[in-house]
Amino acid sequence: MLDENLPTFYLKKPSKDTPHLSQIYLVQHGNEPDPVYSLRYPDPSSPDSKNRFAVALYDPYVPDVVYGEVLIIPEWTQPTLSADAIRQNGGVSPPPEPIIPSRFTIQLYNPDQQIIVNYKPKTWNSPPSWSFEMPQHSFREPTGSILDRVQLDPAAADTTPKLRFSWRKDSKLGKDLTCLLRGKTSAIPETKTKSKEPDITVSIFKALRELTLYEPNLYRVEMEDFKGLEVVLLLGAITIRDVYFAPPKEAFRISRQNSATSSPTSNSPIAAPSPTSTRLPTGSGAMRTNIPPAPQPQPVQSPQLTRQQEQLQREEERRIKKMLEEEEKARRRREAEVEKETRRLQKLYGDEEKQVRLQTPSLPPRPSIQEPSRPAQRYYDYNQGPPPVSHGGSRPYMQLPGQMSTASLLAPPRPQTTANQGLQNKRSSFFGLRRVSEEGKLSKKRSSMF
């Protein structure tokens, strides 16, 4: 056990009475084992269990609830014509052997989706690996549109980004497997200047008996269906253990009697499956390249069937058109209600605003203040003496030049003497370009710049 605080699934061995049924227990934080899944194989006494591999995960308390399952029907080798092989087999041709599949499919339910696991054999410098992809979004968003409900599920849509996972063998001698998160399908390919992010450890299959989820790294897995990921990890680890780490005879429950009575059209010693086994998903094994597949006859459709299809297509078009019309009517009805409510509010609050304006008393007109005839200057004229100081109050602090205090505005105007009038006659023009002399003539003034 890696760590008692991490969630660990224990695969209990089946009993002799029920070799096709076993339980999976969950242990975490040192608690007592709790049954979480029921692992089922086909009944060995049933002829449908021969020459194939099948496994499924059920609810331990509700036997009719299935979470996921795997079915693998292998391809078979062709009979050899070698004299040495016939001589070693007692003078008869050796029986065909199953071919290890290059992929298998995990079927999930609610929502239904298929997870394809691709097998890559080991090479001189790399261990064997089993890679698969899972969508980030698996559930539909709540919507009120009928058209949105007929669209594909996010798990089945090609536009949904997926996460890449891979099972790898830790060492050549050991049997431990590690599942790693490799990245996303929507990620931009790495360049030479950009460093690739390291893989994230998600799960460890210790000694092919217990599966531990590395919980600290699960927070970095950006996906919705964590329950589906748990089922895929368990079914994938069990299938890898039973098919790729066990003899083919035990994995596929080979029956020589059934292989001898196989149908000639199947090109393999596999008995035809019965109707009771059609619930399992269709598996995919290694395809043979030396024998071309037999052509399948195309069914000929009768005119009556064609008319029925056209009628169904027209009915579907009418149904979609009717849904669109209903949605358009509902949209127009909502717009009319919004417009009606807007007019009511405008009428209600518009009348109130008019009443408030009529009831508000008008303010008396502001008395006009006579501006002084003398233009404002930044500094006072030294020939005229200092500016008068009002005795009604003190001068405000930091009063701007050219502004008058409140006391000076309220005080009555002081009468001007004859001397003041004479000084005003000698006042320079606004721009200072000319000055009025005592005789009333204009005298030139030198420029301050030239």
Q: Which two tokens stand for residue 240?
A: 């890898």
The backbone torsions φ and ψ at residue 139, rounded to the nearest 5 degrees and listed phi first, read: -115, 150
Quick one: pLDDT at residue 78? 81
- The whole-angstrom separation of Cα 178 and Cα 240 is 12
Q: Between these two residues, 357 and 34, which has the higher pLDDT value?
A: 34
Is 330 strand, coil or helix? helix
- Res. 446: pLDDT tops 60: no
Is 238 strand, coil or helix? helix
**Predicted confidence (pLDDT) per residue in 140-175, tens digit:** 888 778 777 777 788 888 888 999 999 998 777 778
Average pLDDT, the chain: 74
Q: Do the beta carbons of residue 402 and residue 380 sit within 8 Å?
A: no
Q: Between these two residues, 317 and 412, which has the higher pLDDT value?
A: 317
Q: Between these two residues, 157 and 369, which has the higher pLDDT value?
A: 157
- The whole-angstrom separation of Cα 195 and Cα 220 is 19
Residue type, 181: L
Task: Name the E strands within 274-358.
Answer: none
Q: Between these two residues, 284 and 189, which has the higher pLDDT value?
A: 189
pLDDT band (50, 70, 90) for residue 230:
very high
| Residue 416 host element (H or E) | none
Within 8 A by CB and 6+ apart from 103, the residues are 116, 117, 118, 119, 284, 285
* Buried b or exposed e, range 214-252, using 16+ CB within 10 angstroms: beeebeeeebebeebbbbbbbbbbbbbbbbbeeebeebb
SS (H, E, C) 7-49: CEEEECCCCCCCCCEEEEEEECCCCCCEEEEEEECCCCCCHHH
Q: Between these two residues, 71 and 188, which has the higher pLDDT value?
A: 71
Quick one: pLDDT at residue 285? 34
> Of the given ranges (38-47, 265-274, 346-355, 413-422), which has the lowest mean pLDDT?
265-274
Ranges 41-50, 219-228, 254-263, 389-398, most confident: 219-228
pLDDT band (50, 70, 90) for residue 380:
very low
Mean pLDDT along residues 275-281: 38
Ranges 77-91, 251-265, 431-445, most confident: 77-91
**Predicted confidence (pLDDT) per residue in 59-81, tens digit:** 999 989 999 999 999 999 887 76
Answer whether 0.75 is exceeded by the pTM: no
Quick one: pLDDT at residue 276? 34
DSSP letter assigned to residue 446: -
